[in-house]
């Protein structure tokens, strides 16, 4: 009887600089016989002799997952790499989905997910602590879910006082969604609510901006941007000689008492 001997590790590479890559992630990539991932993520990690690399486009998650699982089922030690954390709008869910829908043998595979520093955490850290209290993360991609669901979640989150992090805020195929999202949020939040645009955080082309909800536009974002929209509790600390700090206090006064 054939036994499955391969293994697959889904690896979070963090925001993109070596200082934010965990030792276990680096070790897993180094140990792999075969590495699968979106091309620019593969480019971040040093190549090793004897290791195969299979880059793919960033919208082929499910095919990439199936390909990687096939390779593992054939006996290889496989790594699938993701930017940030692989469990946040990334490859870990795609690998699970492929296993769920795939051949029974894939369920016998040794599958490990190694977490990483997700983009919202790195963006938040750059400006202080905007995620310091209850928050949520929403993907604005309506390739993957109907827009009315996104709209409903924006309203629920803003109405209940969550700070909101947007992933996948904009792309060439999705030009209007982010402005529509800001418009929806303006109905629920003060115009002065802080909004943080964090692009390519931790990389050489990093660009950070702190604006107000009133002044936030989709033109300030691209595919590499993670956006954090404060709650009505979020505060900005202006500093004369440094960039401002933004934070959401850990505590809320009990106004009902």
- Among 221, 120, 211, residue whose Cα is nearest residue 174: 221
Stretch 57-86 residues interacting with a copy of itself (CB under 8 A): 61, 85-86
Which residues have C-beta within 8 Å of that of residue 136, sequence separation ≥ 6? Answer: 153, 157, 162, 163, 164, 165
CA distance 189 to 162: 11
- Count residues near a copy of itself (CB under 8 A): 87
Site residues for a copy of itself, window 156-175 (CB under 8 A)?
156-157, 159-162
H helices within 160-250, ranges in order? 177-186
| Contacting a copy of itself within 97-136 (CB under 8 A) | 97, 99-100, 107-108, 110-111, 113-118, 121-122, 124-126, 128-136
User: What is the closest distance, in whole angstroms, from the C-beta atom of residue 118 to a copy of itself in the complex?
Assistant: 6
* One residue of 6, 20, 37, 229 binding a copy of itself per CB under 8 A: 20
The residue (of 21 and 224) whose beta carbon lies closer to a copy of itself is 21
Q: Which is nearer to a copy of itself, 52 or 223 (CB)?
A: 223
The burial class, CB within 10 Å (0-12 / 13-18 / 19+), for 2 is exposed
Per CB under 8 A, the segment of 51-59, 137-145, 179-187, 189-197 that binds a copy of itself is 137-145
Residues from 190 through 229 that contact a copy of itself (CB under 8 A): none
Round to whole Å and give the CA distance between 40 and 158.
Answer: 34
Binding test (CB under 8 A) with a copy of itself, winner from 2, 146, 205, 219: 146
**Helices first, then strands: H and E counts in the chain:** 7, 13
């Amino acid at each position: 009887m054939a036994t499955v001997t391969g293994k697959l590790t889904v690896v979070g590479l963090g925001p993109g600089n070596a200082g934010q890559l965990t030792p276990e992630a680096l070790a897993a990539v180094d140990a792999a016989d075969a590495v699968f991932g979106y091309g620019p993520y593969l480019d971040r990690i040093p190549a090793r002799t004897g290791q195969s690399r299979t880059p793919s486009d960033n919208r082929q998650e499910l095919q990439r997952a199936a390909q990687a699982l096939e390779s593992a089922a054939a006996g290889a030690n496989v790594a699938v790499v993701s930017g940030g954390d692989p469990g946040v709008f990334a490859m870990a869910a795609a690998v699970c989905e492929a296993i769920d829908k795939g051949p029974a043998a894939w369920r016998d595979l040794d599958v490990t997910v190694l977490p990483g520093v997700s983009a919202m955490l790195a963006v938040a850290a750059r400006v202080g602590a905007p995620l310091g209290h209850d928050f949520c993360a929403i993907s604005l991609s309506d390739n993957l879910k109907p827009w009315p669901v996104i709209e409903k979640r924006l309203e629920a989150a803003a109405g209940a006082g969550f700070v909101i992090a947007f992933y996948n805020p904009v792309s060439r195929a999705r030009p209007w969604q982010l402005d529509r999202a800001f418009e929806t949020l303006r109905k629920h939040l003060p115009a002065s609510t802080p909004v943080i645009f964090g692009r390519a955080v931790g990389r050489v082309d990093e660009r950070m901006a702190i604006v107000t909800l009133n002044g936030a536009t989709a033109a300030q974002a691209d595919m590499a941007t993670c956006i954090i929209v404060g709650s009505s509790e979020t505060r900005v600390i202006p500093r004369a000689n440094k960039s401002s700090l933004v934070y959401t206090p850990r505590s809320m006064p009990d106004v009902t008492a």
